[in-house]
Chains A and B, each alone.
Chain A
Amino acid sequence: MIEIKTDWSEENLKKYIMYKFLFSNKFTIAAMAVFGICFAAIAASCITMFAMTESAVFLVMAGAVAVLAAGTVIFFIVKVNKNVKVSADMGKESSENESVILTEDKITVCKNQVPYGEMNWDKISSIDLNEKGKTAYLSTEEGAVLILEYKNIVVGAEKELREMLLIKNVKLSEKA
C-alpha cells in the first residue's frame, strides 16, 4: 500500500501540461518540429528573394511570417496559462489536504486522511512516469489527472510506487 499526498497547484499543472504536450507525445514533438521548419523555410525563402530582387515586398513577407510564428507561440503560452489557472482555481479548495491510497486493486481518495471515494485501476487510461520531474501522472478517459510527486509519499517508498505503476502500465499496454 502506498499513500501519497496530491498537490493541485498551478505549478504542478503547468509541469503536467508541458510534460504531456512536449515530452510524452512523439506526434506533438514531430508536428511542432515540422511547423517550426516550415516557418523558418518560408522566412528564409523570403529573405533570399529579397536579397536577389531587392523588392521590399519580400522583406515585408518575411516579417509577417516571423510575426505570425511569434504570435502562434504567444497564443499557445497564454492559452495554456489561462487553462492552468482556471483548473487550479477550480480544484484548489477541494483538493486541500487530499491524498490517495494506491493498492493492488484500487485507488482510494482521502481528505484529511479519511477515505471519501475510490476507483478501480480500470478507470486509469494512461500512466506517465516523469522520471526527471520525479512525478507520476495518472489520467482517466474523462481527462481527470492525478499528479503524484514522489516527494509527497506518506506511506511507502518511491521504489514501491514506481514498481506498482510500471506493473500497471504493462497491464494497460496489454489491454491496448
Chain B
Amino acid sequence: MLNYQKKLEEQLSEICSQSRKSLLLHACCAPCSSYVIEYLSEFFDITLLYFNPNISPEEEYRKRFAELERLIGEMPLKSSVRLMAGRYDTREFFDVVKGLEELPEGGERCFKCYRLRLEEAARTGRERGFDFFGTTLSISPHKNAEKLNLIGEELGERYGIRYLYGDFKKRNGYKRSIELSEIYGLYRQNYCGCVFSRMEAEKRGKG
C-alpha cells in the first residue's frame, strides 16, 4: 500500500513555496476534524464541508454538526476555518447503498459511502473555485485509507480539482485527535454514522 501520509507531505512541501491555497475539506465529525484542521490550517485556508447524509438519526447528525461548529469556534488555529453545511437527505445515502445493506462494516457499502461524500466535496470544490479538496475520514483506523485516496484521486481527475492525499491517523494523528477531543470535551460517538454501523456497534456492546 502506498504511504499516503508521505504523498501528503510531498504535496505540502510543494505548495509551501506558492501562494496560500484554499482547501475544501469534507468533515464527518468534530473529533476526526480536530487534528486534521490543527495540522492543515498551517498550510491552507480551510473550509469544512459537513456533508454526511449517511448519519442517522437526524438528532445525531445535528449533534455532530453543533460539536464541529463549537470546535472551530474554540480551537486556536493558525488561520481561520469556515464551516459549510451540506444537504441532509438520508435518501441519498440509502440509494447508493441499495442492495449492500447486509454487508459487514468496512466493505463495499462503506466504499460507496466514501464516494458519495467525496464526490460532493469534489463537485462543490470545483464549483466554488477551491484549489484542493480532501476529507478527514482517513484519521480513523477503521476506515480504509487506500480506498479513500484512490476514490479521491479519481474524483479529482474527473472534476478537475486537486485532491489532497492523506492518511491522517499516521504520525500520531489518531492519538492527537483523542487528546484534542479530551481537551475540548468533544462528543465522541461510538459508531461511524449510518444505521448499519449503529446496529453493529450495538451488537458489539451487547457482546
Interface residues of A, Cβ cutoff 8 Å to B: 131-132, 134, 150-151, 163, 166-167, 169-170, 173-174
Q: Given contacts A131-B204, A166-B141, is CB(A174)–CB(B170) below 8 Å?
A: yes
New A-B contacts (14) at CB < 8 Å, excluding given A169-B141, A170-B173: A131-B204, A132-B204, A134-B204, A134-B207, A150-B207, A151-B207, A163-B178, A166-B141, A166-B174, A167-B172, A167-B178, A170-B169, A170-B174, A173-B170
Residues 162-177 of B at the A interface (beta carbon under 8 Å): 169-175
Name the CB-closest residue of B to A151: B207
Show 7 A/B contacts (Cβ-Cβ < 8 Å), sorted by A: A150-B207, A167-B172, A170-B173, A170-B174, A170-B175, A173-B170, A174-B171
Q: Mark B170-207, 1 if CB is under 8 A from A, else 0.
A: 11111100100000000000000000000000001001
- State the CA gap A134–B203 with chains docked (Å): 11
CB distance from B172 to the nearest CB of A (A): 8
CB distance from B196 to the nearest CB of A (A): 14
CB distance from A29 to the nearest CB of B (A): 14
Name the CB-closest residue of B to A169: B141
CB distance from B2 to the nearest CB of A (A): 13
Question: Which residues from chain B contact A173 at a C-beta distance below 8 Å?
Answer: 170
- State the CA gap A132–B204 with chains docked (Å): 6
Interface residues of B, Cβ cutoff 8 Å to A: 141, 169-175, 178, 204, 207
Q: Which 6 pairs of residues, A with B, have the shortest CB-CB distance?
A: A166-B141, A167-B175, A134-B207, A170-B169, A174-B170, A170-B174
In contact, A167 and B174 (Cβ under 8 angstroms): yes
In contact, B204 and A170 (Cβ under 8 angstroms): no
- State the CA gap A151–B171 with chains docked (Å): 31
Question: Which residues from chain B contact A169 at a C-beta distance below 8 Å?
Answer: 141
- State the CA gap A169–B175 with chains docked (Å): 11
- Of the listed residues B170, B175, B178, the one surrounded by the most CB atoms of chain A closer than 10 A to its CB is B175
- State the CA gap A174–B171 with chains docked (Å): 8
Name the CB-closest residue of B to A159: B190
Question: Which residues from chain A contact B204 at a C-beta distance below 8 Å?
Answer: 131-132, 134
Question: Which residues from chain A contact B169 at a C-beta distance below 8 Å?
Answer: 170
Question: Which residues from chain A contact B170 at a C-beta distance below 8 Å?
Answer: 170, 173-174
Question: Which residues from chain B contact A170 at a C-beta distance below 8 Å?
Answer: 141, 169-170, 173-175
- Of the listed residues A150, A163, A167, the one surrounded by the most CB atoms of chain B closer than 10 A to its CB is A167
CB distance from B107 to the nearest CB of A (A): 12
CB distance from A7 to the nearest CB of B (A): 16
Question: Which residues from chain A contact B172 at a C-beta distance below 8 Å?
Answer: 167
Name the CB-closest residue of B to A131: B204
CB distance from A12 to the nearest CB of B (A): 15
Question: Which residues from chain A contact B178 at a C-beta distance below 8 Å?
Answer: 163, 167
CB distance from A9 to the nearest CB of B (A): 18
CB distance from B54 to the nearest CB of A (A): 20
